[in-house]
Amino acid sequence: MMTETVVIDAMGAQGDGIAENGGFIPFTLPGETVSIERHGKEVILTDVLKASESRRQPPCPHFGPAGDLCGGCATQHADDGFYRRWKRQLVVDALVSRGIKTETAELHICEPGARRRIVLTARKTGEGPVLGFNQAGSHTVFALQRCLVATDGLNRKLGDLRALLQHIPGKSLRMTALETETGLDVAISGGPALRPPQRQAAVAEALKRDIARLSCNDEILIEPRKPVLQFGKASVTPPPGGFVQAVLQAEKTMTNLVLAHLKKTKRVADLFSGCGTFALALAGQSAVHAVESDGPSLAALDRAARHTPGLKPVTSEKRDLYRRPLTRNELKTFDGVTFDPPRAGAEQQCLEIAASTVRRVAAISCNPVTLARDLEILTTAGFEVTSVTPIDQFLWSPHVEVVALLERK
């Protein structure tokens, strides 16, 4: 195999170095001279001949071109200064590409050991279950012993999670583990239905391991304690495996930005509301109509609202906003809107907001590219972007959360 020497010109949006004559090269930084080998379409870094001043020793021993890689992180080899500038620039570049001229705040930092929700892959082998993340670019599961991104509570429970798998049928399984205020919420999916002996063994193991709730294929097997998250004044039990913000501090930052921006609004539509992260916090100051396509998440939101005293009126609606966005006429009764869609964004919904009489919008997104497209729709219709805040909810990955606040001129 022939070795090539290339110079890294820039950092790509996925965290790979970009060489003019070498394509995308992982684990490299701008200004470095490196040697590489090509294996078909894959480019392998073999040596760093001239290192960037921004290069550092990765804190995780499993990160880098050698050894067993979990595939979760992309940029541990960059020092904090470079990393933060690069991640903020992802947001700036996305906005500029759509002609949106506004100041972007400095990246809000989330520290290591803060991620409370992880999604793991399990493979059954002759030596027992292997639990971890898929290695980069493969279906091989990296056997996780400790993750620097996850909370200490999740790391301490990894042995317990592996023990649960012994009683769950299926060669390949998906496990979502969420650290809540009352204990660990574990949801397993991908295998066949449990037979009675397997069910009994799994329940006994969950009790032994002090798991707050264990679910399999959306069926709750046992729930010694309801897993609880706090959204404003409301205590919420999310559905098994349901979406919640991955980092508590990031959630608090986003919520505070949304609350401050919509403080003077009387009636708010919370679109793509999930189980109520923003809707229930907003209900402390405004009447809220929550719209979400996932029935269990909406039921959790509604149940929490009904059992929390002191909230403004909260209504809910199960609706696919991609197929049926709230129309401009339906939006007439609202003076504020917040939306937090999946990575595809909220293009059709933004077209309706743009044509409505809504005065204030709080837009949350984990994809700066689709967010910029949606903001362009709103600014073309007369909205002004008053602030953009990038939040590093996905540490050492190429993903970044963004909160954009808008007012109609």
Q: Which residues are annotated as a binding site for S-adenosyl-L-methionine?
A: 245, 272, 292, 340
Contact of 218 with 190, CB cutoff 8 Å: no
- Give one word for 54, left, alpha or beta, with left for phi > 0 and alpha for psi -120 to 50: alpha
HSE-CB for 352 with a 13 A CA cutoff: 20
Q: Which listed residue (73, 216, 275, 366) is catalytic?
A: 366
| Sign of the torsion angle spanned by Cα atoms 148, 150, 154, 157 | negative
Q: Which residues are known binding-site members?
A: 245, 272, 292, 340
Q: Is 366 a catalytic residue?
A: yes
Query: Which residues are marked as active site?
Result: 366
